[in-house]
Amino acid sequence: MMRNLLPVLTIVATLLALWYAAAVALNAQWERDQAARAGETLTLPALITDTWSQDKPKLPAPHQVAVEIWNTTGAMVLEGRGFSKRSLFYHSWITFSATALGFVLGTALGVALAIGIVYNRTMDMSVMPWVIASQTIPILAIAPMIIVVLNAVGISGLLPKAMISMYLSFFPVVVGMVKGLRSPTPMQLDQMRTWNASASQTFWRLRLPSSLPYLFTSLKVGMAASLVGAIVGELPTGAVAGLGARLLAGSYYGQTIQIWSALIMAATLAAVLVGLIGLIQRITLKRMGMA
């Protein structure tokens, strides 16, 4: 892993440099218009520093985004307003709760369905093809509808978004778990039969442990999908809270720095959540000798 550190840092540094350069390029037009209107000429150093400090830039510079993030997170915590309605922590928490709930429900449902598919031939042949086919259908498209329908029956707030997250995370979990539960070799299954093991014993002692590597991979995909679901779920009803809502609000009012800070926050949330699963994966598999 250390071997990769230098190349990764080089790439990240290059990307940051490109970002700064792009900021100059994209914001330059506005600067020139301003200068022309004021009848001034713009020198290159002035152009560069100005493009990096606009109020509503086309592309905010990295430090502008960083400052905005700090202002809405760390700075607010220091003032004791960590969870005020303008804090990014508050919005992240809203999105995170929907994500987490949806993820847990989706995983539970996915595992249950996977067990059904592996142990019941009728379910296997009727449902599994639909699970696979559904992965090719852009399910996210119906997010607005789910929100509205559930609102109409009186379910609002956290639950509809969690429903979307659940729906998105449950498919990768089903596919991964089915693969995992079916991963023991014929030889291992025969061995269980020679010991006259019951179906339950075979499940808990052979199938389930063998499926863990597959499960963890699916959980990572499911978590990322869950987060996307929660964010998209915040879009339709002009929601006021959550990272998706911040994205939408930013885009309505042209507050580009706000959009970018919400995006970076969402990215960080995704990285933390997926990383957490990765950590649990490493610990669990190591203890099982499978890492």
Partner 1 sequence: MGWLALGVLAWALGWGINSRLSHGPKTRTTRLLVPVIFGLTIVVIWECLVRGLSISPVLLPAPTAIAATFAKSTHILWADFVQTALKGALTGYIMGCGAAFLTAIAIDRFPFLQRGLLPVGNFVAALPIIGMAPILVMWFGFDWQSKAAVVVVMVFFPMLVNTVQGLTDTDAMQRDLMRTYAAGYWQTLFKLRLPAAMPFIFNGLKIATTLALIGAIVAEFFGSPIKGMGFRISTSVGQLALDLVWAEIVVAAIAGSGFYGAVALVEKAVTFWHPSQRSRA
Binding residues for partner 1, per CB under 8 A?
3-4, 6-12, 15, 26, 58-59, 121-122, 124-130, 133, 135-145, 147-149, 152-153, 220, 224, 227-228, 231-232, 235-236, 243-244, 247-248, 250-251, 254, 256, 259-260, 262-263, 266-267, 270-271, 274
- Give least dist CB 205 to partner 1, A: 25
Cβ-based nearer residue to partner 1, 271 or 288: 271
Least CB distance to partner 1 at residue 116 (A): 13
DSSP-assigned letters across all residues of 112-145: HHHHHHHH-HHHHHHHHHHHHHHTTS-GGGGHHH
Nearer to partner 1 (CB atom), residue 116 or residue 197: 116
Rounded to whole angstroms, how far apart are CA atoms 59 and 77? Answer: 27
Joined tokens for residue 138: 């852009």
Q: Which is nearer to partner 1, 149 or 283 (CB)?
A: 149
Closest separation in Å from C-beta 252 to partner 1: 9
Query: Shortest distance, CB of residue 291 to partner 1, whole angstroms?
Result: 18
**What's the min distance (Å) between Cβ of 204 and partner 1?**
25
- Tally of CB atoms within 10 A around 13: 10
| d(C-alpha 86, C-alpha 91), whole Å | 8
Question: Do 33 and 67 contact (CB within 8 A), yes or no?
Answer: no
Give dist(CA 168, CA 102) in Å, integer: 9
> 145 and 139 in contact (C-beta within 8 Å)?
no
For partner 1, the closer CB: 58 or 81: 58
Comparison of 139 and 241: residue with beta carbon closer to partner 1: 139
Instruction: Write out the H or E segment, with its range, that includes residue 253.
Output: helix 243-253
Q: Cα(first)–Cα(last) distance of the chain, in Å? A: 15
Which amino acid is located at 59 in the chain? L
Cβ proximity to partner 1: between 251 and 284 the closer is 251
In the complex, the smallest distance separating the C-beta of residue 41 from partner 1, rounded to whole angstroms, is 27
